Amino acid sequence: MPPVIEVRNLHKRYDDKIAVDDVSLTVQEGEIFGILGPNGAGKTTTVECVEGLRTPDRGEIRVLGLDPLRDRAELTRALGVQLQAGHLPERLQVAEALELYSSFYPEPADWRALLDDLGLAAKARTRYAKLSGGQKQRLSIALALVGNPRVAILDELTTGLDPQARRDTWDLIEGVRSRGVTIVLVTHFMEEAERLCDRLALIDAGRVVMVDTPAGLTERARVGQRIQFRPSRPMDDRLLASLPGVSGVTRRGDLVIVNGDDDALNAVTTVLARNRIVAERLRVEQASLEDAFVHLTGKRLEPGSC
Amino acid sequence: MSALRTTAPPVTAGRGSATWRLVKAESTLCVRDKVAPLWGIGFPLVLLVVLGSVPDLRQPVETGGGLTYFDLYVPVLILFNLAILATASVPTTLAGYRENGVLRRMRTTPVGPARVLAAQLVANLAIAVVAMVLFLAVARLGFGVDLPGHPLGFALAWLLAAAALLAIGLLITALAPGRGPATAIGTVLFFPMMFFAGLWVPISQMPPLLRSIAHYTPLGAGMGAFQDAYLGHFPSAVPLLTLAAYAVVCAFAAVRWFRWE
C-alpha cells in the first residue's frame, strides 16, 4: 500500500534561516504519526509544506498521491488541518463556525455531535472572541474534523488545554483513528507522543534525527532503566559496575543508583541476593521518551517544564 | 464519537451552498460589527432627516438645474454610505481577517480564501442596496424629494460607483500591512473623498480648480452622474467612464498586490 504522506528531501529556508534542512518521512494509512521536537526545529514548517500552505524550496511531497500545491482542490477535501495560529472572525459564534465549515465539504461530519464530543455544546452561541484559549483550541480541533477527512494534521493539539481536557482530547483522537483516519500530530509534549503515536519522527534543527515507535526510540537511545535502592549493609560499588548490562553506578547520599539496560535489574538482584544485601526502598524507573530525546539531541524539549 | 461515525446528510450538495452560507455569515458579521449599520446607514439617515428639516436647504441651487440644496444631499448621502463601506467596513474587516489568520485558515479548506473576500463584498453591497433604497424612500415619502428622473441611468451610476468604491476598499486592504494601518488609510481617504462629493459645499459652488478636481475623484464623478440622472438625463460619459476606470484599475491593482497572509 502506498504511504498516505510521503515527504522526500524537503528543504525550506526563510530569508536568513534554514527552517527545514532535508526532511524525509512517510506516514502509513491509519497510523498516528508524531512529529516531535523543540521549538524552532522545523516541525510546523514541515507540516505547512505538506498542507500546501508553503512552497518548499526543494523536495517532493505527496499526500494521498496528490501534490499539495497543484492539486489543492482535491487535497483540501480529504485533509483536515488544525493550525497553530489560525483564527476565526471575532464575532462568529461557535455553532455558526461549525455549520459554515461543514458546508465546505462534500461529506461532512455531523457538526452538532462534534460540538458535544468536544465539550462545546454549552458554548454553541458564544462568539469566537469570548472563548477561552482551551475552548478556541477545541473548536479548531472540531473544525479540522468537520469535513470527515481521510488525513488530519494537528499542530500543537493540546497546547493550552488543562490536563482533563487534554486527556479527553486524546480519547477523541484515538476514536478518530479507530475509524481509519490517518493522523499527523505535531507536538512537543512527550506524554502526548508516548500515549498516542504509533511512530514518531524526532526533528531537530530542521533534520529528522530518527523515526521509530516510542518504545523503539527509547530503546535505541540506550538509556534503558534506572535502578535505585538503599543497601541494607555497606557494599562495594564495583560489585555491580562490572555486571553485564550495567552502564554506570553512582551514589546519592545512602542511595545507590544503577543505570543499565533491560538485563541490568536481573543481574543486580542476583548479585545482591548472593551477597545477602537487601535492596531497601528499591525503585526501578523506565527511561522515558524525554530521556531518549535528551540523549539523542542533547536538548530538552520543554525548557523549564516537566 | 457519534459525530464521526454518522455522516450528516449533505446539506444541499454543491458549491452554491457553501458560497451562500459564506455570504450569509459575512452579512451577519457585518451587522454585528456595527460600523456598516451605524455609520453606513444610521448616521447618514439621521443627517438626511435633520437636513430635510432645515427650510433654507429647500432653496434651488444656482446652476443646479432646479434642484434644491436638499435634493442634492440625497445622492451625497447615498455616496456617504458607499464611502463608509469602502473606507471603514471592508478594509478593516478584511485586513483583520488577514492579520488574525482567518484567510489562512480558509486556505486549508476546499472553499479557499477568495470566496471569503467575495462574500464580504457581496455583504457590503447588500447593505449598500438597503441604504440606497431607504434613503430614496425617506427623502421621497418624508420630504417630497422626487426620485431620479432617469432611474436606469441612476441605477447604472450607482452600480459603477459601488464597484469603484468597493475596489478602492479592496486596494486599501491589499496595500495596508495590517488592520490598524488599513483603518487609518481608510479614515484619511474618507474626508477628502466626501469633500469632493460635495458634502460640505456643493460641487457647483466650488472654485473652478476644485471643481475640475472633483469631477475626476470617485465620489465627485458619482455625484456628477447622479445629478444627471436626477435631472432626467442618462448620465454623461465622462463621470461614468471615470467611475469605471476607478473600478477596473483599483480592482486590478488590489488583485495584483493582495496578500493572503
Q: Which residues pair with A63 in a beta bridge?
A: A5, A66
Neighbour count for residue A284 (Cβ, 10 Å): 13
Q: Which three cell numbers stand for residue B199?
A: 458634502
> Which pLDDT score is estimated for A222?
63
Residue A202's SS3 state is strand
CA B133, distance to chain mean position in Å, is: 13
Does residue B1 register a pLDDT over 50? no
Average pLDDT of the segment spanning B200-209 = 90
Conformational region of residue A87, where left means phi above 0, alpha means psi within -120 to 50, and beta covers everything else: beta
Chain B residues touching A51 at Cβ < 8 A: 108
> Which pLDDT score is estimated for B220?
96
Domain A224-286 indexed as CATH 3.30.70.100: yes
Chain A residues touching B6 at Cβ < 8 A: 110, 113
Q: Compute the distance between CA of residue A66 and CA of residue A75 in angstroms, rounded to an integer.
A: 7
Task: Tell me which amino acid residue B9 is.
Answer: P
Q: List, edge to edge, every strand of the sheet that includes A79-82.
A: A79-82, A151-155, A182-187, A32-36, A199-204, A207-212
Q: Which three cell numbers stand for residue B156?
A: 447604472
Highest CATH level, class, for A5-78+149-219: alpha beta
Chain B residues touching A77 at Cβ < 8 A: 110
CB B40 within 8 A of CB B173: no
Contacts of B186 (CB under 8 A, 6+ apart): B86, B87, B88, B91, B92, B169, B172
**pLDDT exceeding 90 applies to what percent of chain B?**
81
Q: Which three cell numbers stand for residue A65?
A: 498521491
Closest chain B C-alpha to A223 CA, distance in angstroms = 38
Q: In this complex, is the C-beta atom of A124 within 8 Å of any C-beta atom belonging to chain B?
A: no
pLDDT in tens, A54-97: 999 999 999 999 999 999 999 999 999 998 776 899 999 999 99
The model carries a pTM of 0.83
Does residue A123 register a pLDDT over 60? yes
CB B203 within 8 A of CB B211: yes
Q: A108–B105: do the CB atoms touch at under 8 Å?
A: no
Q: B108–A147: do the CB atoms touch at under 8 Å?
A: no
Q: Compute the distance between CA of residue B4 and CA of residue A113 in angstroms, rounded to an integer.
A: 8
- Count CA atoms closer than 13 A to B162's CA, side-chain side: 20
Q: Which three cell numbers stand for residue A105?
A: 465539504
Task: Tell me which amino acid residue A67 is.
Answer: D
CB A186 within 8 A of CB A27: no
Q: A96–B13: do the CB atoms touch at under 8 Å?
A: no
Does residue A301 register a pLDDT over 50? yes
Q: Compute the distance between CA of residue A214 and CA of residue A97 in angstroms, rounded to an integer.
A: 36
Domain boundaries defined on chain A: 5-78+149-219, 224-286
> A with B: how many residue pairs have Cβ under 8 Å apart?
112
Largest CA distance in chain B: 75
Q: B8–A109: do the CB atoms touch at under 8 Å?
A: yes
Write the DSSP assignment of chain B as a string of letters. -HHHHSBPPPSS-SHHHHHHHHHHHHHHHHHHH-IIIIIIIIHHHHHHHHHHT-GGGGSBPTTTTT-BHHHHHHHHHHHHHHHHIIIIIHHHHHHHHHHTTHHHHHHTSSS-THHHHHHHHHHHHHHHHHHHHHHHHHHHHHH-PPPPSSHHHHHHHHHHHHHHHHHHHHHHHHH-SSHHHHHHHHHHHHHHHHHHHTSSS-GGGS-HHHHHHHHTSHHHHHHHHHHHHHTTSPPPHHHHHHHHHHHHHHHHHHHHH----
Mean pLDDT over the full length of chain B: 91
Average pLDDT of the segment spanning B185-195 = 95
From residue B214, how far is each of A242, B207, B211 by CA, in Å? 96, 10, 5
Q: In this complex, is the C-beta atom of A105 within 8 Å of any C-beta atom belonging to chain B?
A: yes
pLDDT in tens, A136-190: 988 998 999 999 999 999 998 888 788 888 888 888 889 889 988 999 999 888 8
Residue A174's SS3 state is helix
> Which pLDDT score is estimated for B13?
44
CA B229, distance to chain mean position in Å, is: 19
A153 vs A119, more confident: A153
pLDDT band at A304 (very low <50, low <70, confident <90, very high): very low
